[in-house]
């Protein structure tokens, strides 16, 4: 079975500082990993994904994430946070070995709050 | 751009009513999904469909059913709504294997359902 853990319910950071939102995963095979963002009263928007290749993945709005197989982690990062980055962030995993329909398993979400 | 639309943003129903939530996507995607989102629990998969008239149970199918008569439309049905089904419901779609966007899911804006 595949699973994802987001250990922090909320992350607070000052504007201009670097931010990290943590994610660890568990799958039986090689994972496909994703980050999505949800702004208030909106659906989820895709940020970035890791399928294969370079462990550092760059995505939308200046975000990046690093795949670390030995630590089974896929932390989301941004060098300089903006107030407009304040939102709910979800990590998701897919085990391609399970087949069938592109099912994703989502974490519980981390609320990011960026303050002036 | 992929567009996933949901029939209502807000819905209020009474206990015992039959409730239909509609989702339409305009990109000819094979796969469609229904999730519910609850604080602290993240997104949980209710049902998904990988083709017309094909469906599979997700992690929490109890109390729900689905219908997919046409490729672009995926309906979630609450046969007899209960207060514990008060939640945000999110629909998503993704294209078929072999396409560059296969592993991404595209989300609608959500329907916030309140059952009184």
How many independent structural domains does chain A possess?
1
B4-115 belongs to CATH 2.60.40.10:
yes
3-state helix/strand/coil string of B17-33: CCEEEEEEECCCCCEEE
Written as tens digits, the pLDDT of chain B (116 aa) is 669 999 999 999 999 999 999 999 998 898 999 999 999 899 999 999 988 988 999 999 999 999 999 999 999 999 999 999 999 999 999 987 777 777 789 999 999 999 99
Kindly indicate the confidence band of residue A99, based on its pLDDT and cuts at 50, 70 and 90.
low
In whole angstroms, give the CA distance from residue B87 to residue B84: 8
Most confident of A25-34, A47-56, B14-23, B100-109: B14-23
Annotated domain spans of chain B: 4-115
Of A40, A41, A37, A6, residue with least CA distance to A24? A6
Smallest CA–CA separation between A36 and chain B, in Å?
A: 10
Kindly indicate the confidence band of residue A52, based on its pLDDT and cuts at 50, 70 and 90.
confident
State the average pLDDT over residues A66-79: 96
Q: Which residues of A touch B (CB under 8 A)?
A: 6, 9, 32, 34, 36, 41-46, 49, 51, 90, 94, 100-109
User: A45-59, A99-113, B54-68: which range is least confident on average?
Assistant: A99-113
Residue B51, chain A, CB below 8 Å: the answer is no
pLDDT value at position A4?
A: 94
Residue B16, chain A, CB below 8 Å: the answer is no
What is the dihedral sign for C-alpha B84, B11, A45, A115? negative
CATH number of A47's domain: 2.60.40.10
Concatenated DSSP letters for A21-90?
Answer: E--EEE-SSPPEEEEEEE-TT--EEEEEEE-SS-SEEE-GGG-EEEEETTTTEEEEEESS--GGG-EEEE
pLDDT value at position A100?
A: 58
* Greatest extent of chain A over all pairs of C-alpha atoms, in Å: 45
Identify the residue with better confidence: A94 or B64: B64
- For residue range A58-71, what is the model confidence (pLDDT) as tens digits? 999 999 999 999 99
Instruction: Categorise residue B53: left if φ over 0, alpha if ψ from -120 to 50, beta otherwise.
Output: left
pLDDT value at position B16?
A: 97
Domain that holds residue A10: 3-115
Helix, strand, or coil here: B72? Answer: coil
Backbone angles phi, psi at A97, to 5 degrees: -75, -20
- Sort out which chain A residues have CB atoms less than 8 A from B35's CB and list them: 106
Residue B63, chain A, CB below 8 Å: the answer is no
Kindly indicate the confidence band of residue A41, based on its pLDDT and cuts at 50, 70 and 90.
confident
For A108, the closest chain B residue by CA position comes to: B42
For B43, the closest chain A residue by CA position comes to: A106
Identify the residue with better confidence: A41 or B105: B105
pLDDT value at position B1?
A: 67
Q: Do A49 and B104 touch (CB under 8 A)?
A: yes
């Amino acid at each position: 079975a595949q699973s994802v853990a987001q250990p922090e319910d909320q992350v607070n950071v000052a504007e201009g500082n670097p931010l990290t939102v943590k994610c660890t995963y568990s799958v039986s095979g090689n994972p496909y990993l994703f980050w999505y963002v949800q702004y208030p009263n909106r659906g989820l928007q895709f940020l970035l994904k890791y399928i294969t290749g370079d462990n550092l993945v760059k995505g939308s709005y200046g975000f990046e994430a690093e795949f670390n197989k030995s630590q089974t982690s896929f932390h989301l990062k941004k060098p300089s946070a903006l107030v407009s980055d304040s939102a709910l962030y979800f990590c998701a995993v897919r085990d391609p070995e399970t087949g069938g329909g592109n099912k994703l398993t989502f974490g519980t979400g981390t609320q990011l709050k960026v303050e002036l | 751009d992929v567009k996933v639309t949901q029939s209502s943003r807000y819905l209020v129903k009474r206990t015992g009513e039959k409730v239909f939530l509609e989702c339409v996507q305009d990109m000819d995607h094979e796969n469609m999904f229904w999730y519910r989102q609850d604080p602290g629990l993240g997104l949980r998969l209710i049902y998904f469909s990988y083709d017309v008239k094909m469906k599979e149970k997700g992690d929490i199918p109890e109390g729900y059913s689905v219908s997919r008569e046409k490729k672009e439309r995926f309906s979630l049905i609450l046969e007899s709504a209960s207060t514990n089904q008060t939640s945000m419901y999110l629909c998503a779609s993704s294209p078929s294997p072999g396409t560059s966007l296969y592993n991404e899911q595209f989300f609608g804006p959500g329907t916030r359902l309140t059952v009184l």
